[in-house]
Each structure stands twice: as C-alpha cells, then as structure tokens.
Amino acid sequence: MSRKITGKILFFVFVLVIVALGGSYYLSSDQQHAADYSEATRSERIISKKEEADLDNNAIQETYSLENGRLTIMESLKVIWQSPDDWWLDDFVLADTNNDGVIDINLSLWKAGDFGNSKPFWVKENDWSIKNHFFIFDLIGGALKMVWGSSNLGVPNCEFKIEDLDNDGKSDLVVLEGAYSQRPACHGNYIAIWQWNDWGFTNEWRSDQGTFANLKIEAVEGKKYIEVDSENGVLSLPGRPNVNQ
C-alpha cells in the first residue's frame, strides 16, 4: 500500500472517530436533558378534555384538546399549535387571567429546565430537573404568543381553576399546592388564591395545611364557592376567603 493511500485511510478513520465522539457527546448531553417523567410528581388524575373557542376572533372556532399530557389546538382541521413533546400538561383553562379583556390559554405543565430557551445570561447553570410551571399564552392571528411564563414554581400546583370568585371583575387563580417530594402524584397541602398584578401573580390567601383534592368552583345564585375534598369531608368556602371571611 502506498504511503499516500495509507495516509488517506488514516485521515478517513480520524474523521470517523471525531464524528463518532461528537455524536456520542451530543447524545449524552441530550439524554442528560431529556425529561424523565417517571421521576416527576404529577397530577393525580390524567385529564383528557376538549374545549371550543374562537380566541383569535376570526369567526372560526378552534378546538383545544388535552390528551396524555399534550395540548393540541386545531382550527379548520389544521393543527395551529401543539405543546412540545418534552412538556407534560396537567391541565389547561381558557380564561382572562390578566384581566385585559382577552381570553388567555393557561397551562399547568411539567418540564425540565428552569428557564427554557431564555435563560438569563447571569445564570450559569440551568436547573434540568423536572418542575411545575404556569404559562399563559394568547392566540393572535392564528399563532400563539406567550403572555407570561413562570420559572420553576417553588411548590407544584396539583390542580387549578380560574374564576372571578368575588365578582370584582378580576380573575382569581385558585390552586391546590403540593410538594415536589410527593410520589408518584401531587396532592394538595394548601388551597391558595393568586391574582394577576401586571408582572406576575400575588398570593392573596392561603389555607391552613390540610389534605385537599378535587378542586371545583361552584356558583349558587350568583355566588361562587370553592369546593374541595378535605380530610374533614367536602369543604365549601364562599367567595374569596380573605375578602369574605
């Protein structure tokens, strides 16, 4: 074999090794960031639901369907948006959370990475553990626009509802707060009420510690009640507890 051919073969092998090493590094860093949802605390129930609304006001209804942790938004049989396959959505609610007159798409989701693609430059390491987040989107001209997205929530929301509990014209976000240590499912330690404050949410009220599940908002003769199962049976709290009690 001539020296020239041996050189070419060696060069080819060298390139193969570099490509293989690069590929394995890429795979390992990717695997490191791949979401391992078997280790994550999630909502106790897997919610499947479908809603219809025309949020972008083009006189054509969209369908919002949640199946196996994934939200698909369709209009005229075309998929407008689907949540990324490395997110797990516990639930979604269509409601005007930030009180600007536009109905928002509110998501409670689990994902790896505290900041997603917009990690602030002063944060050296993203936190790749799977944590609960609350995201708000609007549908504008057939495309989704993010209104607000939390970083990792301090404690996960096991369930949430959005209603105007005290009829003051402003939405109240009602959540059952659990803990990340709960396995395999999140269960409510506290009932909490949050309100939009133009840059995020302010906690307006939090219950005493207990065991809470199956959060519902009921309306009786125009008055709203938070109904929730507790260790002492079904609790019914009228209006917004900090205002009404």
* Positions that interact with Ca ion (CB under 5 A): 54, 56, 58, 60, 62, 96, 98, 100, 102, 104, 164, 166, 168, 170, 172
Minimum separation from the CB atom of position 171 to Ca ion (A): 6
Nearer to Ca ion, 99 or 129 (CB): 99
Nearer to Ca ion, 75 or 114 (CB): 75
Nearer to Ca ion, 102 or 213 (CB): 102
Nearer to Ca ion, 168 or 218 (CB): 168
Nearer to Ca ion, 28 or 58 (CB): 58
Minimum separation from the CB atom of position 208 to Ca ion (A): 22
State residue 171 phi and psi, 5-degree precision. Answer: -65, 145
Minimum separation from the CB atom of position 176 to Ca ion (A): 19
Q: Please check whether residue 83 is in contact with residue 109, taking contact to mean a CB–CB distance below 8 angstroms.
A: yes
Minimum separation from the CB atom of position 54 to Ca ion (A): 4
* Three-state DSSP class for residue 50: strand
Minimum separation from the CB atom of position 141 to Ca ion (A): 10
Q: Please check whether residue 228 is in contact with residue 211, taking contact to mean a CB–CB distance below 8 angstroms.
A: no
What is the C-alpha to C-alpha distance for residues 197 and 208, in angstroms, rounded to an integer?
24
What is the C-alpha to C-alpha distance for residues 233 and 210, in angstroms, rounded to an integer?
12
Which tokens hold the place of 39? 């280790």
Minimum separation from the CB atom of position 77 to Ca ion (A): 13
Which tokens hold the place of 124? 């050296």
Nearer to Ca ion, 13 or 146 (CB): 146
Instruction: List, in sequence order, every residue forming a beta bridge with 219; answer none if it has no partner.
Output: 224
Q: Which residues of 154-176 are buried (b: 16+ CB within 10 A; e: fewer)?
A: ebbbbbbbbbbbbeeeebbbbbb
3-class SS shares of the chain: helix, strand, coil, % to 5? 15, 45, 40
